[in-house]
Amino acid sequence: MSFLLPKLTSKKEVDQAIKSTAEKVLVLRFGREEDPVCLQLDDILSKTSSGLSKMAAIYLVDVDRTPVYTHYFDISYIPSTVFFFNGQHMKVDYGNSQH
């Protein structure tokens, strides 16, 4: 189902999406097209994208094509999801034993 979601294939496209998405949460899924776990997440994201279209914009980003962001966001797990609101990175704490 990843073919249903828009893809960002360069740093320039990611930058433009971050700058131009206003008053919505920007969801960037960093991963690889052929990865089975990414495909599962893409299926979930594509099923929810129409229901969330008024409050969120969802894009897929290939980690191999955007190494600058892969390093900047310290993406070590594939897939990883990064959130923005009005151009500001939202740090999400999913909880751990110390929080």
CATH number for position 83: 3.40.30.10
pLDDT band for position 6 (cuts 50, 70, 90)? very high
User: Residue 56 pLDDT > 80, yes or no?
Assistant: yes
Q: Please indicate, yes or no, if residue 60 is contained in any of the structural domains.
A: yes
pLDDT, mean of residues 54-83:
92
For the chain, the domain total comes to 1
Q: At 2, is the pLDDT very low, low, confident or very high (cuts 50, 70, 90)? A: low
Is 63 inside any structural domain?
Answer: yes
29 vs 3, 46, 75, 97, 99, CA distance in Å? 13, 11, 11, 25, 25
Does 23 reside within a domain?
yes
With respect to residue 95, please indicate whether it lies within any of the assigned structural domains.
Answer: no
- Would 99 be classed as within a structural domain? no
| pLDDT one-digit tens code per residue, 10-40 | 999 999 999 999 999 999 999 998 899 999 9
pTM of the model: 0.87
Structural domain of residue 46, as residue ranges?
A: 2-89
Alpha-carbon torsion, ordered 75, 73, 24, 44, to 10 deg:
0
Closest CA to 22 of 88, 78, 91: 88
